[in-house]
Chains A and B, each alone.
Chain A
Amino acid sequence: MATIIFYILGFTALIATGLCITRRNPVHAVVYLVNALFALALIFYLLGAPLVAAWEVIIYAGAVMVLFLFIIMMLELAPNPVDEAAGPGWMRWGPVLLLGLVLVACTVLLILVDGQSGEGVPTYYASPQDFGYALFSRYALAVQVVSFQLFFAAVGAFYVGKPPKRRRKEQA
């Protein structure tokens, strides 16, 4: 059962990615990418990584993609309305509906399978406890380095994103 779900999710992710990379409108691309990331998160769960699956949804689909949407909205990258009106409605909504339905069906199937039998349980399963123990004991130094990296990224983003007026005043 888990094998079949893996292949369904794999093709869903590939189709969503294929639709994502061919869009001209960045907003559509981001929404398709969120679809692909959900499928990928379910695949991570199937491969025995529940914590990574949760973080895939929270960090990638939640935070990073919303950041993309914020930037797109902030820059007002409104596409030409004439381009977007082309094609009937089902051509725009069909792929999204299909992908969304497949993802929801796979999630429901996974919940049902996990609750009833051990068939869907992979041979390797890293519980959040094992995961956290390994992360904060063996990789404690790497966690520190990554926290520094995130701090530098925040500083860098703040510096690059400073309003230009203030920068000109400082130079003068």
Chain B
Amino acid sequence: MIVPMSHILAFSAVMFFMGLACTLAQRNLIMILIGVEIMLNAVGLTLVGASALWQQVDGQIFVIFLMAMTSAEVSISLAMVVYLRRRKGTLDADAFDEMRG
């Protein structure tokens, strides 16, 4: 390990909460998806750090699965964004509140 694991964890935690803040604070659907991306990347950094800590390759393999999952999630959610935009003509998350959430 070139740096202590706690620093990697702190870094990825800060990045994760930045993504969470973006998801919660922004009202644009695209910006919300970008926040999700940031969170997933922070998790990937934790996995790679754990892989280096325990000297095993499994963490890195899970990052690959994480990337595949992200690709699937992004393709579906961007299709949903296009669909919602077509339906309401806006990307404001507050416009889609029929379910009174």
Binding site for B on A (CB under 8 A): 2-3, 6-7, 10, 13-14, 17-18, 20-21, 23-24, 26, 29-30, 33, 36-37, 40, 43-44, 46-49, 51-52, 55-56, 59-60, 63-64, 67-68, 71-72, 74-75, 77, 122-124, 126, 130-131, 134-135, 139, 142, 146, 149-150, 152-154, 156-158, 160-161, 164
Query: Is A26 a contact of B34 with CB atoms below 8 Å?
Result: yes
Partner pick for B48 among A6, A10, A14, A52, CB 8 A cutoff: A52
**Residue numbers in B under 8 Å from A131 (CB-CB):** 57, 60-61
With contacts A37-B41, A126-B60 taken as known, whether A149 is within 8 angstroms of B69 at the C-beta atoms is yes
B12-49 interface with A by 8 A CB criterion:
14-15, 18-19, 21-22, 25-26, 28, 30-31, 33-35, 37-38, 41, 44-45, 48-49
**Tally of chain B residues near chain A (CB < 8 A):** 56
Chain A proximity mask over B45-72: 1 for CB below 8 Å, otherwise 0: 1001101100101101101110111111
Residues in B lying within 8 Å of A, measured CB to CB: 1-3, 7-8, 11, 14-15, 18-19, 21-22, 25-26, 28, 30-31, 33-35, 37-38, 41, 44-45, 48-49, 51-52, 55, 57-58, 60-61, 63-65, 67-76, 78-83, 85-86, 91
Give bound CA distance, A47 to B60, whole Å.
Answer: 10
Q: Are A14 and B18 in contact (CB under 8 A)?
A: yes
Given contacts A157-B75, A161-B82, contact A124 B1 (CB under 8 A): yes
Query: Is A2's CB under 8 angstroms from B2's CB?
Result: yes
| Bound CA–CA A76/B67 (angstroms) | 28
